Amino acid sequence: MARLKFLCDANRCIDCNACVTACKNEHDVPWGINRRRVVTINDGKPGERSVSMACMHCTNAPCAAVCPVDCFHATDDGLVLHSKEICIGCGYCFYACPFGAPQFPQATNFGSRGKMDKCTYCAGGPDADLSEAEYVRYGSNRLAEGKLPLCAEMCSTKALLAGDGEIIAQIYKERVVTRGYGSGAWGWKTAYGETITVT
């Protein structure tokens, strides 16, 4: 069984935001919600790096642990998905998530913030695969169609990798060895409790 992960090679990311746009378009994500975003570290300074970030689908996910209504479930591939039917929009998952992945349709909580929305790894949600209900709530389910996440698929520099953790780690290692440097697997230690060491 694969363990699906994301890996952003910050030495390749050019901050073009195409992954952000593709994700919004593919899943028809409402205004104000960005399932994926690109953050630039050391902006304008030497050593500047950009990193594309969405839900990392953590091992032993903090969001799932703190949810007061336990609306998360982990798939066999290690994805962390949630049920918008059960979610009450309390926002705790955002406080627990190390990567700022959970998003809410409204900023304030007074009355309601609405149901949480986040990256599904293009894998939909608990509704029936490829159903209308699933599309409306979670966006398209590319995994059920045998495809990988769109953001990584269309990344022009192939900075963003998605797929089985071991395979993408191997690709990254080969790149680092070939070009002689790499800034590391951003977020991996926090998300998966491991880093990619190149020896």
Which residues of the chain form contacts with other proteins (CB under 8 A)?
Answer: 10-11, 15, 17, 20, 34, 37-43, 46-49, 51, 53, 62, 65-71, 83, 85-92, 94-100, 107-112, 180-181, 183-187, 189-190, 195, 199
CB atoms within 10 A of CB 145: 10
Return the beta strands (E) in the chain as ranges. Answer: 4-8, 37-41, 49-53, 72-74, 80-82, 160-164
Shortest distance (Å) from residue 4 CB to ligand SF4:
12
What is the spatial distance between Cα 29 and Cα 124, in angstroms, rounded to a whole number? 13
What is the spatial distance between Cα 185 and Cα 196, in angstroms, rounded to a whole number? 6
Residue closer to ligand HEM (CB basis): 62 or 163: 62
Shortest distance (Å) from residue 59 CB to ligand SF4:
9
Residues in contact with 48: Cβ distance below 8 Å, sequence separation at least 6, in sequence order: 40, 41, 42
Return the beta strands (E) in 109-164 as ranges. Answer: 160-164
Would you count residue 90 as binding ligand HEM (CB under 6 A)? yes
28 binds, among ligand SF4, other proteins, ligand HEM, none (CB under 5 to 8 A by kind): none
Residue closer to ligand HEM (CB basis): 65 or 177: 65
What is the spatial distance between Cα 44 and Cα 95, in angstroms, rounded to a whole number? 29
Q: What x-and-dash track marks residues 31-70 binding ligand HEM by CB under 6 A?
A: -------------------------------------x--
Q: Which residue has the tokens 């070939």?
A: 178
Q: Which two three-digit tokens encode residue 179?
A: 């070009």
Would you count residue 109 as binding ligand HEM (CB under 6 A)? yes
- In this structure, are residues 36 and 102 in contact, taking their beta carbons and an 8 Å threshold? no
Shortest distance (Å) from residue 88 CB to ligand HEM:
8
Residue closer to ligand SF4 (CB basis): 22 or 54: 54
Give the binding site for ligand HEM (CB under 6 A): 68, 90, 109
